[in-house]
């Protein structure tokens, strides 16, 4: 297991229904995190998660996928090749479910606590006003983890409702605004050097 596995990663989260710009941003986040020597921690879902994993791997980084299934299953099945690539390129698939068990809908939410617990900070690529991203963000805030949220151009919010959660989280002061590559790098460095590592139980 890599020494970057525990408390040396950034969680990257967001909608499964990401438009092209959201996927581009997700990949960019993955590569920037890798460049700073941190792991990308995500959940192997479609959309933002997939983009972040790929961006990290393309930059020769280490990525960790938190799974809602046993290790002998991949959900969604379309990401089976990505799961194999993560293992092949020194990443990690993490599951708390025994082989042979069936995936339950609540698994998709339950794994958020593992993601937030392992991460030093959380970056929201793109999120709607409802959905699992908010659950993960709330979990991160309870653990006093930093949360950052990408700021899109105004036209993007008007065209894609799945990005309106970003706007609301920033307006409500829930997340720090990430405007560009420099602000993302600053956020990552803040998480990387933060010495207030919260002691907590994942169970």
CATH dotted code for 9-193:
3.40.50.450
pLDDT at 127: 97
pLDDT at 193: 65
Question: Between vectors from CA 24 to CA 181 and to CA 35, what angle results, nearest 5°?
Answer: 45
pLDDT at 4: 41
pTM value is 0.90
Token couple for 48: 């933002």
Q: What is the DSSP letter of 153?
A: P
Q: Please state the domain extents for the chain.
A: 9-193
d(C-alpha 190, C-alpha 7), whole Å: 13
d(C-alpha 41, C-alpha 30), whole Å: 9
d(C-alpha 41, C-alpha 114), whole Å: 10
pLDDT at 38: 92
d(C-alpha 25, C-alpha 8), whole Å: 21
Question: Between vectors from CA 162 to CA 158 and to CA 167, what angle results, nearest 5°?
Answer: 65
3-state secondary structure of 55: helix
Identify the segments of the chain with pLDDT beneath 50: 1-7, 195-203
pLDDT at 203: 36
Q: Provide φ and ψ at 37, rounded to 5°.
A: 75, 20
Token couple for 140: 């991160």
């Amino acid at each position: 297991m890599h020494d970057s596995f525990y408390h040396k990663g950034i969680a990257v989260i967001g909608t499964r229904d990401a438009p092209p710009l959201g996927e581009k941003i997700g990949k960019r986040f993955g590569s920037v995190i890798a460049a700073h020597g941190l792991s990308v921690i995500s959940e192997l879902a479609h959309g933002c998660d997939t983009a972040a994993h790929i961006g990290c791997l393309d930059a020769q980084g280490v990525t960790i996928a938190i799974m809602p299934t046993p290790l002998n299953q991949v959900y969604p099945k379309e990401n089976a090749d990505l799961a194999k690539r993560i293992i092949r390129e020194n990443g990690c698939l993490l599951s708390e479910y025994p082989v042979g068990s069936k995936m339950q809908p609540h698994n998709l939410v339950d794994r958020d606590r593992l993601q937030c617990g392992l991460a030093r900070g959380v970056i929201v690529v793109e999120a709607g006003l409802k959905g699992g991203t908010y659950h993960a963000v709330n979990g991160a805030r309870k653990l006093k983890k930093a949360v950052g949220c990408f700021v899109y151009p105004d036209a993007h919010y008007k065209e894609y409702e799945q990005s309106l959660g970003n706007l609301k989280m920033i307006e409500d002061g829930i997340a720090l605004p990430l405007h560009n590559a420099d602000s993302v790098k600053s956020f990552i460095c803040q998480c990387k050097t933060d010495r207030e590592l919260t002691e907590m139980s994942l169970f």
